[in-house]
A and B are shown apart, each in its own frame.
Chain A
Amino acid sequence: MIKKLLLVVAALSLIIPAAACTPKEAETIKIGCLLDTSGDLAAMGVRILDAARLAVEDINAAGGVLGKQVELVEEDGATDPAIGFNGVKKMIEIDGVQVIAGPMITGASLLSIPYANGHKVPLITPSATGIPLSEEEGTEWFFRTCLRDDAQGLMLADIVMDKGYTKLATIVLDNSYGKGLETYILEGLEAAGWQGENVVSIHYSEAAKDYRTELQQIADSDADVVLAVTYCDDGIMIFKQALEMGLDEIAWLGCDGNYGSGLFEEAKSAEFMEKAIVAGTRTVGTGAICDHFNTAYEDKYGETPEVYCDTVYDAVWAAAKAIEAAGVYDGEAIRVALTELEFDGATGPIAFNDIGDRNAGSFEIWQVVKDATTTTGYKNAPIEIVAWSM
């Protein structure tokens, strides 16, 4: 008798947790969101997350998706590929999300793509710009609302050609983003018949914090222009030390990674950027939805949206529209819907080509100016908007 009872108890103990795991009808539609709200891109990431939340609010205000409200499942990638990948795994395995806005950085995306493939969950990045993400095998589950590094590299090459620089120094992050942008500016320059030379090429680690000797190599190289491909915290160190070393007498070029008010939080970094950076690039939007987004963001958060806030807004909307078009909350169907999707977003008309990239968009050429109304006393200001298409 006791044996039987024990058996029943044992059987029950197996059944009960199993029963608890049976999926019940979900009350919300989950959209995963992997952004880097800590680490070197924290200043950028928290603003991007705000924009993603704004998109969810707007989607829900417009009636949600499939008759349900949308819920944003947020994970922090900590500007670290491995942590970002873990976040993606957690969202897919534990939270059961079927589409993710993110990852934010190329490294985390490279790690996550094979996994997302295996689990049939599409990823829509707002900001990972590396080329291999859409050109290597098995990347059909990867979409992006930002423009790629090769487009930005060409844009930067145009600036070098226009201004007639001939001695280019490069100081770039030692990762796929930094080295990618360096490669594409050089390819762009070569294609344009540039007569100049890449006088010194420095690949640095964002962990080093001290770049004095690296910067000394730029000073010794007699460069007339320097391309800096950095994130925020490391960018601050480089610009601060560059100012101390008097490198503001050379012209510097910035990029999307060092756009934003995060870099002005250190006074010397801000001073250097204002003095030395002649032009930087970043993707930017135009049109009615863009205006709506800018106003709504400013009303809600009390500051103007910064780089990749608009692309994440579009990424979350793309996810929502694809779920609606698919008619079911299922990764495979959402992926198919994404390939056929066309809509007007905050960054202009959005459609993905057969490798999940956008065929057109626009870049802003920016600089840093003094502005006493901001808390840091500096802000980014557009020089011009350039339309770009493949």
Chain B
Amino acid sequence: MTVNWAQVLFNSTITGSLYLIGAVGLTLTYGLSRFPNFAHAEFITLGAYIGYSVAEQAGLGFPLALVVSFLVTGIVGILCYRGIFQPLAKRGATIIHLMVASIALGFILRYSIGATWTWKPLYFTTTWSAFNIGPLRITGLWVWLILTAIALAILMHFILVKTKIGKAIRATSSNPELALASGINVDRVILITWFIGAGLAAFAGIFRGADTQIWPLTGWDIILPIFAVTILGGIGNFYGAIVAAFIIGLAENVGVVGLIALGLSTSYRIGIAFLILIITLIVRPEGLAMLFRRA
């Protein structure tokens, strides 16, 4: 059997784009607030459901679903930070406390979502055109997903490098005390980051939902590879995340081809991301961050 490697590469790009969109928010909030927010999975899920409500239940279409979902989930992100994580941090909570609080928050959000929309899987009915280009099979959704990831990369680069808020985010991330001393409104920077981070998680949720299904574990299904991307890319490092997302996407998809060739179950696919995560933590805990010193 000859493997269509062009398609495998393309599929890896789809997977990587999704993980990148999901990971940007996680890596930025992780870098700034200094704890891994496990409820990020539920931001993804919530985004998917809000997108579904706008696009399907209200019938307002896919593009508007992205916008509304970004805003609503972004605000939920701010509320979670202001209502839970910031007060805890002010009372001297350590990374462990904050992490456990985020896991708890995730459970609350997940089951609230389940109670609101039921646990029955939902599906977007938007039809995407499918076409062949050479050896590649492509659908409109995948093009949108990849373009969104590219646009996101360019936009984030521009924001981080050229704008005041971007510089403030980077400054706060690398040294909060110094940033504060230099007159940066650290509190505002963190809030904006949580807003953008949760909003982007909503994007990931909608794309994952449109590609597969929406259910209360939509975010949880992909949170492990997203964490792997965050850690491989170097916590808080946006450029590292871009490279890491595509490495993990490629590893998973090539892994599936390999597993099938070896006669093994493709259930191990998720294990591939996990394996990369463990190896990174052992061999190179700082991830790919060293490659992007300037960032």
Contacts and interface: CB of A to CB of B under 8 A. Distances in A.
Interface of A: 38, 42, 174, 199-205, 207-210, 212-214, 216-217, 219-222, 233, 236-237, 240, 244-246, 265-268
A38 B265 contact: no
Contacts of B177: none
Contacts of B8: 213, 216
A220 B7 CA distance: 10
Interface residues on B, range: 35 or more
Given A213-B11, A245-B137, A266-B123, A237 B212 contact: yes
Given A209-B212, A213-B253, A220-B4, A265 B123 contact: yes
Interface in B114-133: 119-121, 123, 125, 127-128, 130, 132
B182 interface: no
Nearest to A39: B119
Nearest to A208: B269
Given A214-B260, A266-B123, A174 B4 contact: no
16 contacts: A42-B120, A174-B267, A201-B263, A202-B260, A204-B267, A205-B266, A214-B256, A214-B266, A217-B256, A220-B1, A220-B2, A220-B4, A233-B121, A237-B212, A265-B123, A268-B127
A201 B130 CA distance: 26
Given A174-B265, A207-B221, A216-B7, A200 B1 contact: yes
Contacts of B2: 220
B187 interface: no
B38 to A, nearest CB: 18
Contact of A219 (B4, B119, B265, B266): B4
Contacts of A246: 130, 132, 137
A205 B256 contact: no
Contact of B256 (A200, A213, A222): A213
A42 B119 CA distance: 10
A265 B139 CA distance: 21
Given A246-B130, A266-B123, A204 B266 contact: yes
B14 interface: yes
Contacts of A266: 123, 213
A47 B281 CA distance: 48
Nearest to B128: A244
A207 B266 CA distance: 11
A124 to B, nearest CB: 28
Contacts of A200: 1, 260
B267 A203 contact: yes
Contacts, number: 91
A160 to B, nearest CB: 19
A220 B3 contact: yes
Given A200-B260, A213-B253, A266-B213, 15 more contacts: A174-B265, A201-B260, A203-B264, A203-B265, A208-B270, A212-B11, A212-B14, A214-B266, A216-B11, A217-B3, A219-B4, A236-B123, A237-B212, A244-B139, A246-B130
A208 B267 contact: yes
A42 B265 CA distance: 24
Nearest to B215: A233
B201 to A, nearest CB: 17
Nearest to B212: A209
B125 A203 contact: no
Contacts of A202: 260, 266
A174 B2 CA distance: 24
A46 to B, nearest CB: 10
Interface in B160-208: none
A239 B139 CA distance: 15
Contacts of A222: 1
A233 B213 contact: yes
A267 B126 CA distance: 10
A36 to B, nearest CB: 13
B257 interface: yes
Contacts of A207: 221, 267, 270
A174 B259 CA distance: 13
A217 B4 CA distance: 8
A246 B131 CA distance: 9
A292 B267 CA distance: 43
B253 to A, nearest CB: 5
Contacts of A199: 1
B56 to A, nearest CB: 12
A210 B119 CA distance: 19
Contact of B265 (A205, A209, A233, A265): A205
Given A221-B1, A244-B128, A210 B267 contact: no
> Which 7 interchain pairs have the tightest Cβ spacing?
A205-B267, A203-B265, A174-B265, A209-B212, A213-B256, A266-B123, A213-B253
A267 B125 contact: yes
A222 B4 CA distance: 12
B142 to A, nearest CB: 9
Contacts of A214: 256, 260, 266
A185 B60 CA distance: 47
A208 B221 CA distance: 8
Contacts of B269: 205, 208
A306 to B, nearest CB: 17
A239 to B, nearest CB: 12
Contacts of A265: 123
Interface string B233-273: 00000000000000000001100110010011111011000
Contacts of B120: 42
A316 B243 CA distance: 58
Among A174, A213, A221, the one with the most B-chain Cβ atoms within 10 Å of its Cβ is: A213
B167 to A, nearest CB: 37
Nearest to A223: B1
Contacts of A267: 123, 125
Nearest to B264: A203
A236 B119 CA distance: 16
A276 to B, nearest CB: 15
Nearest to A216: B7
Nearest to B218: A209
B251 to A, nearest CB: 12
